[in-house]
Structure 1
Amino acid sequence: MAPASRPLETPCLVPGRDAEVLGDLPPAVVDTITSARAPSTRRLYALKWNLFVDWCSSHEENPRSCSIRAVLSFLQEGLERRLSPSTLKVYVAAIAAHHDAVDGKSLGKHDLIVRFLRGARRLNPPRPLSIPSWDLSLVLSALQRPPFEPLQTAELKILSCKTVLLVALASIKRVGDLHAFSVDESCLEFGPDNSHVILRPRPGYVPKVHTTPFRDQVVNLQALPSEEADPALAFLCPVRALRLYVDRTQSLRTSDQLFVCYGGQQKGKAVSKQRMAHWIVDAIALAYEAQGECRFFLGAGTRRLADRHL
């Protein structure tokens, strides 16, 4: 089920510098300036700041005005607990958002902090993420055969996985963008004789990359023509798969989100972005199994695999 939005956690005990700077501004202006950081970033900063506040309390330090020595000691303890350099960098950003300026500049730009983070990266270099590669032609070939066809009688799980994969490949959209599509009549429109389909994100959707124009989020997919030379190509038509998927899920869905859960207690409810990414990888894995290939494997980076290869 898609996770519900959580309220932002405000930093405890010690107000940030923003409280002084923004204190006299109108509430609407404060909301706009606060929105410069994504809600997830604000939650993360609040969590890191509260942990630093607790550490300072146990060491009798003022978290807002403590010395660089105290901040470096806190970061060193985190490094010894095997926190990654990227995590330590988030701690620095969170502390800098509330800490008083040092020598006229932000804590995160202090020479010792910068050199500490550089040393942490050298001592703990990032390991490249190993993402399994896959053969698109092999997968497309498998999608034209059982268990993916005939699609009209395939299991709902198979139909869901194949539809998400085809729509992702045809639209070249992130999982987050696919997650924003809806079956509402204002967001989903099939052309005459299912010649095409227009997909629009739900109202209020903001793409992950803010520089992407909102109008470009509208997707117009054309149906694949039936070729006499190779009629099996029609099995790869995303419009056909989407039409069958919408019709099959109409009676069970309890959400107007385009893609919904296909089984279990959440059947018919909105599927999360993480689960949708798993569907894409499941479709690829099933395609390899259908072709008798065993070299494709699933790892911990399923979401990254779906986003990077699509």
Structure 2
Amino acid sequence: MAQSAAVCFSSSVPYNSYTGQGEGAWPVSYSDSTQVAQSPVAGRDNPSVIRRAMAPPPSHGPVVPSQRGDLPPPPGQGGSLGLARERTNLNALGLPPRVIATIQNARAASTRSLYGCKWQVFEGWCDGRGLTSYQCSVPDILCFLQDLMEKGRSFSTIKVYLAAISACHVGFEGSLVGQHPLIRRFMKGARRSLPVTRRIVPEWDLSMVLEALSLHPFEPLGSISLKLLSLKTALLLALASAKRVSELHALSVHPSCAKFSLSGDKVSLKPNPAFMPKCFPAFTSEVLELSAFHPPPFASPEDQRLNALCPVRALRAYMTRTSAFRKSDQLFVSWAPPHRGSPISKQRLSHWLADAITMAHEAKGVQPLEGIRAHSTSGLATSWALFGGVSLQDVCSAASWASPHTFVRYYQLDVTRTSVAHSVLGVGSS
């Protein structure tokens, strides 16, 4: 694509906010500003009362180990419904079940699932040493965290373990585990010992992937399989919007949420009103607006090729193809039986993005790198947009980042290449 091609990330246009399910994490800052997500636990005011009322901890199944740490339990298991140990703590306070459910709903289901898995690991560690997990001492918790360090766990992973322990432990003298002075000092030392590393170069070649999306087997759009159409639409939407997978997953085809302009060259998308984005409350609700990329009539064959990368064109084709069998207003639905037309999960959408990148590499005869992540689309898209002349403020707004520091510290890549969507898609013209 020509370097002068205008590509803008869609601007965020607020609409009436809706209060849905929140993340509910309470940050606890260390002295060096490091934060660990914390949540309310029973016994904060009078731990001794709860210690007397505690029931034995529930039994748990085995934890599945992996190279990236312990995996959360599959959907439908206890972990995804809430932390059983925390429910026991809250129940000991005499709270009705419906009140406990509301309190636990302060965290997203995925967070509850993750905390539940980490707590199971800690329980197993305590059981092997004859300790009571929800009442163990500060030295015991520090030894567990030290073991995690010596096993090569990253600092961010250790923070999640500490957050899970803080959610389920009765605490110390009215304070959460994560607020104890020794534990805070330990975490500060752990961060110094385990410096955060991140990629500074792209994991994959955006230019090559975009070129592949404009050619066979991803074209012609009207005759490719529904699988390829789904993958291509999801990836183009992710790149043109720079949104997280969770935000793409929340998009809806309901007439109140998806509207094409009369000319068909623009589309406005809104998430399901119940969706609570990660950056709450700054981005509780917004409109994703996309404009056609190199629309017809075409001035040259190159314009026609670039139009194959138009997210508006792909989105219209995808919504038309799925309208006859979709069983949900969620934008992305399954193409495969027996779940054809049913809404897909965030994890499945992540697989779609990674698969689209991998298949694009294979289409160009290039062996794809292992471990390609869907999350990489946001960093790559925003880095190219910034290099293309889009302001840092617009980049952060498009990606729903509350602070530029998030982009600079975690997402900015070293790329060499103007609105956000056209700047990103224009990379393919090189």
Q: TM-score, normalised by structure 2?
A: 0.58
- What residue ranges of structure 1 are gaps of 5+ in the alignment? none
Which structure has the larger Rg? 1
- 1:258 aligns to 2:328 (yes or no): no
Amino acid at match of 1:223: A
- 1:213 aligns to 2:286 (yes or no): no
Following superposition, the deviation at residue 9 of structure 1 comes to 3.1
Residue in 1 that maps onto 2:291: 222
Residue in 1 that maps onto 2:81: 7
**Which stretch shifts more, 131-140 or 219-228?**
131-140
Residue in 1 that maps onto 2:258: 188
Residue in 2 that maps onto 1:92: 162
Amino acid at match of 2:291: Q
Q: Deviations over 1:182-219 (max 9, x none)?
A: 22222222222423222121231111222333342x12
- What residue ranges of structure 2 are gaps of 5+ in the alignment? 1-73, 382-430
Calculate the aligned-residue CA RMSD, in Å: 3.7
Amino acid at match of 1:67: S
2-structure distance, mates of 1:257, 1:181 = 6
Task: Choose from 340, 354, 377 the match for 1:281.
Answer: 354
Residue in 1 that maps onto 2:111: 41
Following superposition, the deviation at residue 74 of structure 1 comes to 3.7
**Which stretch shifts more, 62-71 or 165-174?**
62-71
Residue in 2 that maps onto 1:70: 140
Paired-residue identity, %: 44
2-structure distance, mates of 1:133, 1:160 = 22
Following superposition, the deviation at residue 143 of structure 1 comes to 2.8
Q: TM-score, normalised by structure 1?
A: 0.77
Change (3 A) 1:250 1:7: same
Residue in 1 that maps onto 2:377: 306
Change (3 A) 1:285 1:10: closer
8 Å contact kept, 2:202–2:380: no
Change (3 A) 1:154 1:213: same
- Report which of the two has the higher share of helix: 1
How many residues align structurally?
Answer: 301
1:15-26 maps to which residues of 2 (within 5 A)?
15-16=88-89
8 Å contact kept, 1:170–1:238: yes
Change (3 A) 1:309 1:65: same
Task: Choose from 242, 245, 256 the match for 2:315.
Answer: 242
Q: Deviations over 1:7-50 (max 9, x none)?
A: 213207x954x667x7579966x666555443433444444445
Residue in 2 that maps onto 1:161: 231
Identify the structure with bigger relative contact order (alpha carbons < 8 Å, sequence gap 6+): 2
Task: Choose from 257, 263, 267 the match for 2:340.
Answer: 267
Q: Deviations over 1:247-268 (max 9, x none)?
A: 2222332333212222343332
1-structure distance, mates of 2:207, 2:130 = 63
